[in-house]
Every structure is written in C-alpha cells, then in structure tokens.
Structure 1
C-alpha cells in the first residue's frame, strides 16, 4: 500500500482502492506525513489489532470498546504454568511409571491413558527409556 500511495506502484486490487482513496483524503489534513514499510515479522501486533478491531461493530451513538494491552516480561505461557504443589518435577509421574509400571494413587482412567501415551516417548539423557 505504501508504494501505491507514493505513486510508485499502481493499485490493481479492487479491494484496496477504497482504502487508498480514504488514505489520500486523510493525508490532505496533515502538513507533513511519512509512510514507512514495516517487515511482516515486525508487524504482528498491528496485524493482531487489525483482526481484533474487525470483530467489533461500531456506531456513532455508542462508545468504542476498551482494548487493554499489557506487556509481560516473560512469554504469556509462562504466566499460565502452575507451580507444582508437591515440589516434584512435571515429568515425575511419567518417570515413575516407566520404572514401576504403576499408576499414581487415585488416577482416573483418562489419566492412566494419558500417562501411558506420554511414557512411550519419554527418554532419559542417556537415550534409554527410564
């Protein structure tokens, strides 16, 4: 779009023509304006916001919805990991099952199935099944 706005490229995509027209109208309201091309990998937040904004129906009579953005020092999944209350690592049950072929006390059938599935691909540092 930047190349089209600068007149370097022609706008051929019919879906982009209304956007280009609207931007050209808005540009007239500024004394000076610059456009910068941002690589896709650096534009993830803008893409996410554009997707999010397309989900709202807006009208002139209603307030716009508030979108709160927070920045975390660690990746989001880090905040979802629960602490193990018993002080044992998350792989403890898998390792014990591979040693003894016994399930943890009070295991439900679904838990047992999951444990068997996980235990099949669990290896120690030496490359042997624990």
Structure 2
C-alpha cells in the first residue's frame, strides 16, 4: 500500500505520518505485537521518550503515536541508522526492476491520499457501532460480511 501526502509538511512530519500509517495498517489486520524499526532518530527517540518534543507541530504526532501504541499488547521502537537500511534499499531497487508480461494478472497497488495530518483522524476512529474504523475491513477479510449500515457503494469500495 502506498500513501501520498497532499499537504505541506516537514521531513519530520512525513516520518511521523509514515509511522502512524504503518501502525494503522498493522492494527487493521489485528496485529497485537509489533517491533517498529525506523531511520528517523527524531521519531524513534521521541516516541521512546529519550528526547523531548520541542517542535509544536510534532507534539500532536507524538501524542497520536502514544495513543496508538496503547492499542498493541506489545510494541517496541528501534532506531536503525540509514546506512543500516541496505536490505530495504535492495528490496526497493529489485521491486522497481520487475518486468511484467502484459498477460499477467497483477493486483494493483492502492495509493491513498492523505489531505491532513494523521492525528486529525482521531475524530473518525470509531464506526457507528463503536468499534475501530478498520473493523469493517477485518470483518470482511475474516468472515466475508459487511456491516448492516453499509450501502452498496460502500460495499464495492470495501
């Protein structure tokens, strides 16, 4: 899954967005224990509590990540310097080099657009029945059932 941020942000905000999106995706599939590895010393060290967040624009992100971390039974954050990311870089390079036959059926990548910061989404975290926003997706994957209040359009979208 890929995301496109359609709002102006600093590099640090983009790093926080990436972390928040990754945690949202893990929660959406029912992950209970997770190890988060990141090459942003700001995000990792602030989330670990080693560094204090002084930038006012980053404080809501830190609060948001702390709130999301409570949704996991077990979570840890580990800083990996950028020069330790050779494996990830190699995978990205390989993925960009894959050639596909036009006859092959390829599942498309979903690119979601984010028009505002992740922490602003807190308002919409619960569905009409009081469950997390991603519950309809998990229910559909596990049981192939839609919420009763879903319209035909929402069903197709899901």
- Same-fold status (TM-score > 0.5): no
Question: When the two structures are superposed, what TM-score results if normalisation uses the length of structure 1?
Answer: 0.33
Q: TM-score, normalised by structure 2?
A: 0.28
Higher Cα Rg, which structure: 1
